[in-house]
Structure 1
Amino acid sequence: MAVDNAEILDFLKNKADRCRILVVGDLMLDQYFYGTVTRISPEAPVPVNLVKGIRNKLGGAANVAHNLSRLGCQVYISGAIGEDNHGDILKSLLAELSIDRSGIITTKQRTITKIRILGGHQQMLRLDFEDKEDLSKEQEMDTMKLVHHILSGHVDGIILSDYNKGFCTPDLCRQVIHAAHESNIPVFVDPKGVNWDKYDGADCITPNVKELSDIIGHPVNNEDEDVVQAARKIMEKYHLPRMVVTRSEKGMTVLSGTREHTIPTEAKEVFDVSGAGDTVLAAFAAGVTGGLSLEIAASMANRAAGIGVGKVGTYAVSREEIIKSLA
């Protein structure tokens, strides 16, 4: 067995359940309507989906928390939900996983929900329900009080899962990073948008190539030299000591200081990439906070993502699945 695999196995079997991680970000509910399509509607030239079942899943930052939970970590979450049925469903799903929900605030906006209509394994349509509005200053203060309370206990790491839906405001991100560093807690960021000033000084950021292109201001070719060159410019500008660039079929590149290391993809068959970034972020952050080197943590994250994209819909990969894949 390779040394890397031995260290991953040791972490998953003996250390993961001691990792305590707080996820801060945009909470979402993913609903899947599964059915079959055998005819076209007589009312309009559209397929008729005979719905056979409905499944509710955690999405957005809640999916990051789900992935951490499936790895065995102790998880806390902070985000916003609405006073609606979808918010109740989301909280219930978190409760089933024993994820601490004390950092959640309730707002007048709708709980962010994505409804996907599937015919067989094919996604036919997606419906998004959201009121994209930034937190108010009062809501930011309320959130930070809850975050400080969680940090007063023992937390090993914080993940900022930003989906650009209004929860991860610039002020909130800066306050979370500052509070974490005061307690010597590393912050891992899944970025969105082109305002990376709010992530300045975070310990690690995990963009994909498109997000890297957006922030650098021009398309970045998915080649080793181009990715590394763009990443280093952004790391210097925003004082980021580490970066993990996810590169689709080319795996991922880990940068730290003057070092860089590219890990080939583990995906054997791709059904659905939704949620793959959440899986990478969760596994990588868990590994690093649990004592794995950056390269080995990234290797575990890459393996987890390879398992996840082989499933239909948003999927949280378990430590048992990773262990089995290493056998």
Structure 2
Amino acid sequence: MKQRFLQIIENFKDKAVLVIGDVMLDKFVYGKVRRISPEAPIPVVRVTKETYMPGGAGNTANNLASLKAFVHLIGVVGDDKEANILKECLNERGINHYLIPQEKTIQKTRLIGEKQQIVRIDYENIKKIEKGNEELILKKIKELIDNIQVIIISDYAKGCITKELALEVIRMANEKNKKVIVDPKSYHKEYYKNAFLITPNDKESFEMTQEIEIEARAKRLCEELNSNVLITLGEKGMALFENDTLKEFPAVAREVYDVSGAGDTVVATIALALSANASLEEATQLANHAAGIVVGKAGTAPIKREELLVNFKEKNKIRTREELKEISEEARSKGKKIVTTNGVFDLMHYGHIDILKKAKKLGDILVVGINTDASVKRIKGDSRPILGEQERASIIAALDCVDYVCLFSEDTPNSLLETIKPDIHVKGSDRKMKEIGEKETVEKNGGKVVLLPIIEGISTTRIINKILKGEKDGEKGK
């Protein structure tokens, strides 16, 4: 089954998907909280960073782009600076957009202090799309429809999706044998008749049917709308109603950090999987895994194709510097402590294992830097290493206490540490602090160097010398 999923994900690339719906701008304001305001019992946030992301239907498009799809996005915005920022965000992500100016651009601002969302501020003026703009959207869809695989209707009930527009899009798609997936709003149920799939969440499915049991909700929606139904159930997983049968999929989230935008991830993954000739059940299983990954991220972060691929491969601890940069940034955003250490690790011995176990206890993630063969030869001479770099990296990666391994070709780990920016860098107590060249790099980035006690009398050099001495003694005895 894993191979089948890997094949589907590999086929995501350049599949064309059209997203129509309520486009928004998500703004994230990050800061530090150190005191309570004297004016009211509220935290004072000292702002340190501001970022922007496509929101609403834009987040669905962003997920598709991160999964390597060829994306078209249609919606309405304002003639304002927020629209310009949004378009810039979409351009950066390679998303083709057709955004019609009508009202003020919808913006959702989230204030985050000490890794916690404190408040969300919404700027919106909900107004039904003008008839002329609705006609412009339909005209654009007619231009695109022959060259796309799937259409997504992303309805946040902000005015872009009307009953007439939705039903006409579904009619056009069915006529061309294109699938339509709807991320619905409960009070727009009648908009979605004859769509291939609707994806309400637990609350929306109840509001649409007033049924208590999940199967009863799904069956009723299927009968009323002539659609397949996928109900997302948060930590309980998902329930798919297809061919008069309910199939349930338990959640696969390893860690829930932020559920913002998870529904958009589900819809995007299903759309691409269907484009890649997956069955609806296969597409749902993939979407379940994608949601499990994305809820472990901060904010409306999209799912990446590489993350989904890794999810179905054997866990690979040996990573590139670029991958570790992303991993460490993600870990820091969750308040996790990163620990690093480095070495040659030629002929593994108990002293190595002991210090790695101790290092792991100092934080949440342990990254081990290992000198490449060329680097070892420069430092220790042509007779070393005994084991090649891939063998050494694989042995270290096999240890439970190690989270990631990275090979570095330089004589020192400074460049790697500059990338990872660890909270703690570990060295053995046989070294003096003033001799540690990477101390400046670590401290410059807010970390510290910790010396851990080593087991005396054990070293790779001693082991090699002992082996060589044994060989010589053996030759003498012949």
Q: TM-score under structure 1 normalisation?
A: 0.93
Q: Indicate conservation of the 8 Å contact 1:164/1:193, yes or no.
A: no
Deviations 1:1-44 (A, max 9, x none): xx1x211211222x111411000000011100000100112222
| 1:310 equivalent in alignment to 2:296 | yes
Match of 2:7 among 10, 32, 53: 10
Deviation at 1:279, TM superposition (A): 0.4
The equivalent of 2:26 in structure 1 is 30
Higher Rg: 2
Deviation at 1:259, TM superposition (A): 2.6
Match of 1:120 among 114, 119, 123: 114
Alpha-carbon RMSD across the aligned residues, in angstroms, is 1.1
Q: Does 64-73 or 287-296 show the bigger shift? A: 287-296
Deviations 1:230-285 (A, max 9, x none): 11011101111x11111111110111112322111011111111100000011011
List 4+ stretches of structure 1 deviating above 4 A. Answer: none
Unaligned runs of 5+ in 2: 314-478
| 1:91 equivalent in alignment to 2:87 | yes
Q: d(CA) in 2 for partners of 1:205 and 1:86? A: 30
Q: Indicate conservation of the 8 Å contact 1:157/1:285, yes or no.
A: yes
Q: Indicate conservation of the 8 Å contact 1:67/1:279, yes or no.
A: yes
Counterpart residue type for residue 40 of structure 2: A
Q: d(CA) in 1 for partners of 2:153 and 2:235? A: 25
The equivalent of 2:192 in structure 1 is 199
Deviation at 1:322, TM superposition (A): 0.9
Counterpart residue type for residue 206 of structure 2: S
Q: d(CA) in 1 for partners of 2:5 and 2:104? A: 40
The equivalent of 1:44 in structure 2 is 40
The equivalent of 1:236 in structure 2 is 223
Unaligned runs of 5+ in 1: 221-225
Match of 1:137 among 131, 136, 142: 131
Counterpart residue type for residue 161 of structure 1: S
Pairing 1:98-247 to 2, within 5 Å after superposition: 98-101=94-97, 103-107=98-102, 109-151=103-145, 153-218=146-211, 220=212, 226-240=213-227, 242-247=228-233
Match of 2:58 among 55, 62, 76: 62
- Greater RCO between the two (CA within 8 Å, min separation 6)? 1
Counterpart residue type for residue 286 of structure 1: L
Counterpart residue type for residue 214 of structure 2: V
Identity over aligned pairs, percent: 38
Q: Indicate conservation of the 8 Å contact 2:12/2:275, yes or no.
A: no
Q: Indicate conservation of the 8 Å contact 1:7/1:292, yes or no.
A: no
Q: d(CA) in 2 for partners of 1:306 and 1:24? A: 25
Counterpart residue type for residue 294 of structure 1: L
Q: d(CA) in 1 for partners of 2:188 and 2:92? A: 35
Q: Indicate conservation of the 8 Å contact 1:81/1:112, yes or no.
A: yes
The equivalent of 2:15 in structure 1 is 19
Q: Indicate conservation of the 8 Å contact 1:207/1:246, yes or no.
A: yes
Deviation at 1:181, TM superposition (A): 1.3
Deviation at 1:179, TM superposition (A): 1.3
SS at match of 1:7: helix
Deviation at 1:47, TM superposition (A): 1.0
